[in-house]
Amino acid sequence: MRPFIAVVDYGIGNLRSAEKALCHVGADARLVSHAADVDRADGVVLPGVGNFGRCSEALSGSGLWDATLGAARADRPFLGICVGMQLLYEGSDESPGAPGFGIFAGKVGLLPEGVRRPQMQWNLLRPHPLMAPASRRNRLLRGFEADAWAYFVHSYAPPIGPETVATCDYGGDVAAAVEQGDIWATQFHPEKSSSVGLGILANFVAACAA
């Protein structure tokens, strides 16, 4: 049976592309704009593009903030994409005062000095060396631990922390993916990352079906 995955429709993000990619790899993925649909889903995806503050404000204004935060805190798969990953943190230097979910500690910051912003390119994912295999299953990148290229479009990124499972090199190590329990998130766009991105989404769909 295809798991029902709610793609949170709050008016911001490449929503249709994420929905189609998830359906392609075996999900019953739908754009949802009602909290009840978020609550009943087998898994939840929070996309986001552009400005952190506008995404935070739009999610709050949509009436889906509490349901989406509840999904991130619940014991079921949750995937944040791009600014959807950034919203899992406390806030962002891009939009001082705009709240994030605070699931992970720290604030999102500007990419390092000396690099072109935004990073708009394919980049190599590197498993984060601080990841502890004994304490983390790393289902997100299963099958893509080496030579995995993903497509990035961003000027800000979260800090590297204990939740970080992959980085990329862009003027230094930049957080590219996180995983903690059933919460997964990518700074890159899996729906734009060819076979690697589809494989990562397939890993997520498998977790939703389990």
Note the pLDDT tens digit of each residue in 160-187. 999 999 999 999 999 999 999 999 999 9
CB burial string 111-133: b at 16+ within 10 A, e below: beeeeeeebeeebebebbeebee
Position 1 confidence tier, pLDDT thresholds 50, 70, 90: confident
CA–chain centroid gap for 173, Å, is 18
**Structure tokens given for 36:** 């009840």
**What's the domain count of the chain?**
1
Average pLDDT of every residue of the chain = 94
Could you list the residue range(s) of the whole structural domain that residue 100 is in? 4-209
Position 134 confidence tier, pLDDT thresholds 50, 70, 90: very low
Percent of the chain's residues with pLDDT above 90: 86
Active-site residues, by number, are 82, 189, 191
At 73, is the secondary structure helix, strand, or coil? Answer: helix
Q: List the CATH number of the domain containing 148.
A: 3.40.50.880
Position 139 confidence tier, pLDDT thresholds 50, 70, 90: confident
